[in-house]
Amino acid sequence: KNQVEQSPQSLIILEGKNCTLQCNYTVSPFSNLRWYKQDTGRGPVSLTIMTFSENTKSNGRYTATLDADTKQSSLHITASQLSDSASYICVAAFGGYNKLIFGAGTRLAVHP
């Protein structure tokens, strides 16, 4: 069964601190792994896309890693800001047309 699991479900950190979100996926045939940020009341916004040959990709203070062997990915946020408060969704794409399987998301709250 194609599925994506994320942990933790929610996380609270203080402004300026770092954090790491985890994702395990099972999709076949695997195409790529994506991380999205979703602010409350808005649509998801793409942060990174990684194929099986890429093991790390950065977008500003966001760094995603991918281990295609263990089917695990992580999203590391450096020097968090209040604006980082959002849901972070791990998404695995499979098949020739990149059908997307979404995780339930990690809800991050950054407090001053």
Partner 1 sequence: EAGVTQFPSHSVIEKGQTVTLRCDPISGHDNLYWYRRVMGKEIKFLLHFVKESKQDESGMPNNRFLAERTGGTYSTLKVQPAELEDSGVYFCASSQGLGGAGKTQYFGPGTRLLVL
Residues interacting with partner 1, by CB under 8 A?
Answer: 4, 31-32, 36, 41-46, 49, 51, 89, 93, 96-105
Nearest distance from C-beta of residue 19 to partner 1, angstroms = 21
Nearer to partner 1 by Cβ, of 60 and 112: the residue is: 60
Beta strands in the chain (DSSP E): 3-7, 10-14, 19-26, 30-38, 45-51, 56-59, 62-67, 72-77, 86-94, 99-102, 106-111
Nearest to 102 by CA among 111, 88, 90: 90
Nearest distance from C-beta of residue 93 to partner 1, angstroms = 8
Nearer to partner 1 by Cβ, of 39 and 67: the residue is: 39
Nearest distance from C-beta of residue 18 to partner 1, angstroms = 26
Contact of 92 with 52, CB cutoff 8 Å = no
Tokens of 23: 């994702």
Nearer to partner 1 by Cβ, of 83 and 97: the residue is: 97
